Amino acid sequence: MSEATVSVWILGDQLLRAHPALAEAERRCGRAAVRVVLVESAGRAARLPYQRKKLVLLVSAMRHYAQRLRAEGWQVDYIQAATAGAGLRQHAAAHRPARLITMAASEHGGRAFQREALPALLRLPVDVLPNTQFLAGQYDPRPGLPPDKPYVMEHFYRAMRRRFAVLMDGEQPAGGAWNFDRSNRKRLPANRQLPDLPVFPPDAITQAVMAEVEAAARGVGTADGFNLAVTHDDAQAALDDFIARRLPDFGPYEDAMTARHATLYHSALSFYLNIGLLEPLALARAAEEAYRAGRAPINSAEGLVRQVIGWREYIYWTYWRLMPGLRQRNAWGARRPLPAFFWTGDTEMNCLRHVVRRALATGYTHHIERLMVVCNFCLLAGIDPAQVNDWFLAAYADAYEWVMLPNVIGMGLNADGGLTATKPYIASASYINRMSDYCAGCRYDPQQRAGANACPFNALYWAFLIRHEAALRANPRAGQNVLGLRHLDSDARRSALAAADRFLNTL
């Protein structure tokens, strides 16, 4: 046995400043007797045609993390291997640790590998510590809730606010209300100047990774133009920039969409949250501090807090509650293959063209574009949920299974039977026209329901209501959608169904 008697395996999306496995190993035997292992898995990177900027972000952040650990006095074994298992076997053979300590993976398959396969694979004891990247891993507002029983996100959110004392004035919510969503639905003025995100020019490590990713010649998009943060300090700078320059206007325009700007006032910090360069409670506290100091209105601070410790934590909690069967859910019986334009953006529908091309080029679009453009279209068009989920995993740089399965299959496509969201998020072209400038540059008319120039969203929307009228009537929250059917006589219904079918046949 070598001097390094304990090894710590840190996964590529667990790049925490204060990693619990490091702390535990150092507590047990001192830093000098610990060896850290990080593995770049070629097989994991090739599982889907991932956005190349995502691959650069992950690999460069891992290499910078290893560099930081070495500077802090840790022994680090950085391995490139075909699989994580192969890399860990290589490490164990070279250093013969007495034990491996790791933090539980955020994804179901990874956690099963750690707990069930890894001890036999390495022939040594493996300690899997609780995951500390999520608040929902530290507090469960509804322990033991059966997976077939829904739990409303708003109730979860309020419980998290109380438990972690975020935006609370004693027992009451700051500002006198839990939710200021009604103040956050403004359309973006046409002449409004929008702030760009901070950029972080790639250093030598990142430039080398960019070249490697391009040379591998797989995935979507390009590594060219990569300028994301890959260190804790730069991620903190990105957070500070958001709080100072975009948070004040984030709330009112949270739901707005525009062809002329990708991020508007959104934080675009999910890149860093999801790999551990930032942590959720610190982000929520920063928004609260800005509100308390008078630098951001309550609707903006609360909107950001709701995204971070409400929606994000609820999605993670839901993922673990509904796994392992969530990927197979298909409550609406959707079987249509994913249209080819999702890999090119070549469609005459202006909203989808902009959103898809933006995702393929940058790895990012904000949450309303994901929900009310992409998922809305896929739900109305009956696209296979598993294929939609895989596209999101491939195209978005902040996408991981724990967030995409419940957010796409559950919330976006309502394919889990209403366990994640209590209603399907469906809308006709009127919603997109009201909340964006996409329709102004489109060859389709959002006001027309039928005819060659009618927006396909309209025919798809009415056809979905007609085909699923009974199921939608049984859902109290879908009543407003179904009420619209009273304006359609039998001829109008037949026309809507025929128009939807004609469009779908072109896919």
Report pLDDT for 482.
86
Residue 141 sits in the same domain as residue 128: no
Report pLDDT for 3.
45
Asked if residue 82 is part of any domain, the answer here is yes
Distance CA 214, CA 210 (A): 6
Residue 461 sits in the same domain as residue 488: yes
Residue 488 sits in the same domain as residue 360: yes
Asked if residue 177 is part of any domain, the answer here is yes
Asked if residue 348 is part of any domain, the answer here is yes
Q: What is the pTM of this model?
A: 0.96
| Domain CATH for 369 | 1.10.579.10
Asked if residue 391 is part of any domain, the answer here is yes
Asked if residue 226 is part of any domain, the answer here is no
Query: Which ranges constitute the DSSP H helices of 363-489?
Result: 367-368, 376-381, 385-395, 401-404, 429-435, 456-467, 469-473, 479-483
Query: Per-10-residue mean pLDDT for the chain, 507 residues long?
Result: 76 98 96 97 96 98 98 98 98 97 98 98 97 95 92 96 98 96 93 96 98 95 97 98 98 96 97 98 98 98 98 98 96 97 97 98 97 98 98 98 98 96 95 96 92 95 95 86 87 93 94
Chain CA centroid to CA 391, Å: 13
The number of residues in the chain equals: 507
Domain's final residue, options 133, 162, 177:
133
Report pLDDT for 36.
98
Report pLDDT for 155.
96
| Domain CATH for 29 | 3.40.50.620
pLDDT in tens, 419-444: 999 999 999 999 999 999 999 989 99
pLDDT in tens, 371-412: 999 999 999 999 999 999 999 999 999 999 999 999 999 999
Report pLDDT for 476.
84
**What's the token pair of residue 108?**
């179901």
pLDDT in tens, 325-378: 999 999 999 999 999 999 999 999 999 999 999 999 999 999 999 999 999 999
Domain's final residue, options 293, 322, 351:
322
List, edge to edge, every strand of the sheet that includes 75-81. 75-81, 34-41, 6-9, 99-103, 126-129
Residues ≥6 apart with Cβ < 8 Å to 420: 315, 318, 322, 406, 407, 410, 411, 414
Residue 179 sits in the same domain as residue 309: yes
Question: In b/e form, how buried is each residue of 300-311, taking b as 16+ CB within 10 angstroms?
Answer: bbbbbbbbbbbb
Domain range enclosing 261? 137-195+246-322
Residue 173 sits in the same domain as residue 285: yes
Residue 23 sits in the same domain as residue 96: yes
Asked if residue 382 is part of any domain, the answer here is yes
Distance CA 77, CA 67 (A): 11
Asked if residue 329 is part of any domain, the answer here is no
Residue 291 sits in the same domain as residue 420: no
| Domain CATH for 298 | 1.25.40.80
Report pLDDT for 4.
57
Residue 146 sits in the same domain as residue 23: no
Amino acid, single-letter form, for residue 249: D
Which residue in 278, 281, 304, 282 sits closest to 291, CA to CA? 304
Distance CA 294, CA 248 (A): 10
Report pLDDT for 289.
98
Domain count across the chain:
3
Residue 16 sits in the same domain as residue 92: yes
Asked if residue 210 is part of any domain, the answer here is no
